[in-house]
């Protein structure tokens, strides 16, 4: 895209920056996830180049982003971020989150965990290790992911951790059987019905839960023992000798991956007909998979390979605002009630609703909620600069910074050619 068009887009985004910050800081959740990525920080150029090592993101059960900040290894503590988030909940009168999923620092052998200390005002919050990351840690004990038995090991490892809700599975099997009968399969056997059920159907219509710390430890130890001598046709062992050491290190985290018994992680988002039966569609709030998905798109929010702090901030906040709007719309769409807006400008959405109410006595965007007042939280590059006692350019400086950023971008493209 020509730099002139991008410069116009960035100027438009800066004009909407207060509304975008208000929209992001008006987002809440009861099940939070925190994760970090490095890739997007490599695009940061200009005076702040190489100053940020991590982009840390906090999401909720719907996949929306509550906060996205860039920080450096020189600022290891996230105290300002945690205090700002806790203040947001307190000022809005919201109940504190019940669970926080993370990929590390879930527990500590000496006192409370890192996140329990950071979010110390949220009494009773449960810090849980994301199960996918736990499984990936154990997968390091495998010779290679291309080993013929690797898929079998991971599937059995998942079975050691999770168990499906029997009532949900029976209901799905009954519906699947009726669907097969409608497709002219006369009286299919129970085994044939279960083989016909896909993994996607299980995840969509059935809930699952963790087996408990004791059962999981026993099952994983039995799995490692049973497959310790397993080889492929060339005699290559699936498990490396280090697997036992890895398991000894990771077994203490088995308690960290268990579900919180008082909290239901599943919500019904709709119903579908399969065969002659009506089945619920479930959405799971557990784990940090939604943040992993967000990280795949995050680098695409910043076009090209480089952006200075002003342009980076505009891209990031506009990208997060659009992401949140899309996630909220997707949640509604499952129920068939999505409003399918054509603009992400909250000012325009609010004005259209006001005019529509005045003229037609109804609103165009029935699910639109006007964002609250923006908090004092630092988002994106603001957080990085604040840690160093700096601020983003203001007023007339912004235009010059935008143009300088694209001049550097154009020079870089010429050098590459």
| 54-67 per-position pLDDT tens digit | 899 999 998 999 99
Check residue 342 and give its pLDDT: 62
Residues 263 and 146 in one domain: yes
Residues 19 and 115 in one domain: yes
Domain extent, residue 29, equals 3-128+287-416
Cα 67 to Cα 317: distance, rounded to the nearest angstrom: 10
Residues 124 and 144 in one domain: no
With a cut of 80, say whether residue 19 has pLDDT above it: yes
Residues 246 and 357 in one domain: no
Q: Which of 379, 206, 401, 389 is nearest to 311 (CA)?
A: 401
**Which of 251, 282, 313 is the C-terminal boundary of a domain?**
282
Cα 415 to Cα 417: distance, rounded to the nearest angstrom: 5
Residues 170 and 272 in one domain: yes
- Helix, strand, coil percentages for the chain (3-state, nearest 5): 50, 15, 35
Residue 331's pLDDT band, with cuts at 50, 70 and 90, is low
Residues 256 and 150 in one domain: yes
End-to-end CA distance of the chain: 16
Residues 249 and 207 in one domain: yes
Find the mean pLDDT for residues 127-146: 95
Residues 124 and 139 in one domain: no
**Which of 282, 299, 327 is the C-terminal boundary of a domain?**
282
What is the value of pTM for the model shown?
Answer: 0.86
Residues 66 and 175 in one domain: no
Cα 258 to Cα 161: distance, rounded to the nearest angstrom: 9
Cα separation values, 403 from 3, 311, 382, 408, Å: 9, 9, 20, 9
How many degrees, rounded to 5, is the angle at CA 391 between CA 390 and CA 396? 135
Give the total number of structural domains in the chain: 2
Query: 280: helix, coil or strand?
Result: strand
Residue 335's pLDDT band, with cuts at 50, 70 and 90, is very low
Cα 348 to Cα 372: distance, rounded to the nearest angstrom: 16
Following CA atoms 316, 318, 320, 326 in sequence, which dihedral angle do they give, to the nearest 10 degrees? -150
């Amino acid at each position: 895209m020509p730099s002139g068009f991008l410069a116009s887009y960035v100027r438009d985004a800066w004009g909407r920056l207060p509304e975008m910050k208000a929209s992001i800081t008006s987002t809440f959740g009861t099940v939070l996830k925190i994760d970090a990525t490095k890739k997007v920080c490599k695009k940061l150029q200009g005076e702040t180049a190489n100053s940020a090592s991590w982009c840390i993101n906090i999401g909720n059960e719907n996949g929306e982003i509550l906060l996205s900040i860039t920080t450096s290894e020189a600022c290891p503590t996230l105290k300002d971020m945690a205090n700002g988030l806790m203040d947001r909940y307190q000022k809005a009168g919201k109940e504190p989150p019940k669970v926080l999923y993370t990929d590390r620092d879930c527990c500590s052998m000496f006192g409370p965990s890192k996140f329990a200390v950071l979010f110390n005002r949220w009494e009773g919050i449960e810090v849980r290790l994301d199960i996918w990351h736990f499984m990936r840690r154990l997968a390091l004990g495998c010779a290679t992911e291309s080993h013929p038995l690797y898929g079998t090991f991971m599937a059995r490892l998942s079975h050691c951790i999770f168990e499906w809700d029997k009532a949900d599975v029976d209901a799905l099997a009954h519906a699947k059987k009726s669907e097969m009968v409608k497709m002219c399969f006369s009286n299919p056997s129970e085994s044939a019905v279960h083989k016909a059920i896909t993994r996607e159907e299980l995840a969509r219509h059935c809930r699952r839960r963790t087996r408990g710390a004791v059962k999981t430890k026993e099952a994983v130890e039995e799995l490692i023992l049973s497959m310790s001598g397993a080889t492929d046709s060339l005699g290559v062992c699936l498990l490396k000798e280090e697997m036992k050491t890895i398991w000894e290190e990771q077994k203490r985290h088995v308690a960290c991956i268990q579900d919180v018994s008082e909290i239901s992680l599943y919500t019904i988002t709709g119903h579908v007909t399969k065969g002659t039966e009506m089945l619920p569609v479930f959405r799971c709030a557990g784990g940090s998979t939604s943040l992993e998905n967000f990280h795949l798109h995050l680098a695409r929010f910043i076009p090209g390979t480089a952006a200075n702090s002003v342009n980076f901030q505009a891209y990031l906040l506009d990208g997060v605002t659009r992401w949140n709007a899309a996630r909220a719309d997707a949640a509604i769409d499952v129920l068939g009630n999505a409003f399918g807006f054509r603009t992400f400008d909250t000012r325009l959405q609010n004005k259209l609703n006001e005019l529509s109410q005045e003229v037609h006595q109804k609103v165009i965007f029935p699910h639109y909620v006007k964002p609250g007042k923006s908090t004092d939280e630092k988002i994106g590059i603001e957080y990085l600069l604040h840690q160093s006692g700096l601020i983003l350019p203001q007023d007339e400086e912004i235009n010059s910074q935008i143009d300088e950023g694209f001049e550097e971008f154009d020079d870089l493209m010429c050098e590459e050619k």
